[in-house]
Amino acid sequence: MNVTFQRHPSSYNHWNLAVDGAIATVTLGVNPEVTMAEGYELKLNSYDLGVDIELADLLMRLRFEHPGVACVVLRANDEKVWCAGANILMLRSSTHHFKVNFCKFTNETRFAIEDAQNNSGQHWIAAVRGVCAGGGYELAACANEILLADDGRSAVSLPEVPLLGVLPGTGGLTRVVDKRKVRRDHADVFSTLSDGLRAKRAEAWRLVDEAVPLSNFEARIAERAQAAAEGATSDKKGIVLSELKFEKSETGYRFEYVSLDLQTAGRTATLTMRAPSQSAAEIAALSADEIRAQGDQFWALKAYRDLNEALLVLRFNHIEIGTVLIKTEGDADAVLAMDAKLAELQGSDWFVREMVLYMGFVLRRLDLTARSFFALIEEASCFAGNMLELALAADRSYLLEDEEGQIGVSVGALAGGDLPMSNGLNRIEIRFLHDEQAGRDVSGKQQTYIGAEAEKAGLVTYALDDIDYPDELRLAIEERASLSPDALTGMEANLRFAGVETMETKVFGRLSAWQNWIFQRPNAVGETGALQSFGEPTTPQFDWRRT
């Protein structure tokens, strides 16, 4: 399956977005016949990757095309089934890597909802009427509040353990106890009840915020939405998100600011990101109005949309690629000027703020991509400002020391925390957990480090002269390609998020380990496993040994 990630509201098959002033209504209405692959139907408002790709597009449009929205009401078009979660027949027929990448993408999309709540002034209300199960409840749990209809039928559940022998996407379990702060014993009962909980008990156990009698359900939704949007002005004019254009060939993809070149024989790829074409002086002279006039063609948004698409096609369409070499090209001064301009305006201009937030989201997607990343800092590189984050996100970085002393890295104005990792720390802080003050000094100075200075400052792994550089790099790439990809995935996921743990790092750390493991176990996916037996006239046969 060759997956594409470009969507437009005019072609949505599963979602509807309606905006009325400061209140938006997002309605799930899955078309069962429109699927990403053959062999299943999306019955009962269940979803596959295609449904979530549309949702990801919708979230981007809410933030960039409708900046005046202060409240989002999340609904479904079916009064009996709000959302049945991920489609079981889709999971049953999918390859292992697809299932895990699917879970990762859906969780990234849900964290994008929470990011919009935390940083973009959007208040989300999940208005649940009908059965809300599995991934459906995970989606509802992303909202600021959940209103559940008290009609004797509507219920919330995480039935994956009793019905399928798998976990509720890990985001479900984590949000229940970490976000909604459900007691452990209550969460244990809830996660092993296939039918879930209705109204009053769901409210009493903190699984929903309010159980509302059906006779008052619509009025209560409107009341809460009006309260959430009170005082908001909807006069901000958004920008239009156009479809990304790129060239695809047998050897890779070329976007305007990003290239992904595939070297399939060596199971490697080269990911190159290019700096703005404008000069530093031109960027420094831009006003907020001029930046908004450029819309989705402004470098900070366009380049990171290109990077986002490249990472996703790498994940889903090129699973044999194990090592990615990150390169940059262009004028480092222009990148530093871009950082300075974004830092200057993000507190006063909604569009600049949203671009910085999006840049952070895409960089976190890179952090969470199960590939080995080596950054190559060579002639014509521009690992400066926000593009230095690519090298800091890499598992290793190699800098070529040149005789002229021109090759280096530069810290920009966004380094102090505007592009955080999933644990809330910036990437320089992660490198200086042993000396927090030194980390603050490096991230705050906006300094350029040439050659060995960069290694001494802790910003690159190796600084090598032109004699050692090619051999050291070749050996490192060959060695990486010889190691177990399963072991590397586990190792990298463990090493990338040092320091404090957050709900987001828990979700993705557990997803990498738990789902990779459980989705391979016979109890789940074997011929007599729960996933294979679901909906069939058979009972799953388990290996009862605990591991």
pLDDT of 240-269, one tens digit each? Answer: 999 999 999 999 999 999 999 999 999 999
Answer whether residue 448 shows pLDDT above 90.
Answer: yes
Number of H-type helices and E-type strands within the chain: 24, 22
DSSP calls for 80-101: SEEE-EE-HHHHHHS-HHHHHH
Answer whether residue 68 shows pLDDT above 80.
Answer: yes
Q: Taking the domains of the chain in order of start, what are their residue ranges?
A: 9-229, 252-491
**Per-residue confidence at 234, pLDDT binned at 50, 70, 90?**
low
Note the pLDDT of residue 406: 92
pLDDT digits (tens, 9 = 90+) for 345-363: 999 999 999 999 999 999 9
Beta strands 197-198 and 155-157, pairing class: antiparallel
pLDDT digits (tens, 9 = 90+) for 104-123: 999 999 999 999 999 999 99
Provide the whole-model pTM. Answer: 0.96
pLDDT digits (tens, 9 = 90+) for 6-61: 999 999 999 999 999 999 999 999 999 999 999 999 999 999 999 999 999 999 99
Are both 9-229 and 252-491 of the same fold? Answer: yes
pLDDT digits (tens, 9 = 90+) for 412-436: 999 999 999 999 999 999 999 999 9
Note the pLDDT of residue 514: 75
Question: Mean pLDDT, the chain, as a whole number?
Answer: 95
Residue 492 and residue 395 in contact, taking contact as beta carbons nearer than 8 Å: yes
- In CATH, 252-491 is 3.40.50.300: no
Residue 72 and residue 124 in contact, taking contact as beta carbons nearer than 8 Å: yes
Answer whether residue 166 shows pLDDT above 90.
Answer: no
**Per-residue confidence at 170, pLDDT binned at 50, 70, 90?**
low
CATH topology of domain 9-229: 2-enoyl-CoA Hydratase; Chain A, domain 1 (3.90.226)
Residue 24 and residue 66 in contact, taking contact as beta carbons nearer than 8 Å: yes
- Strands of the sheet containing 258-263, edge to edge, are 247-249, 252-254, 258-263, 268-274, 323-329, 372-377, 396-401, 462-465
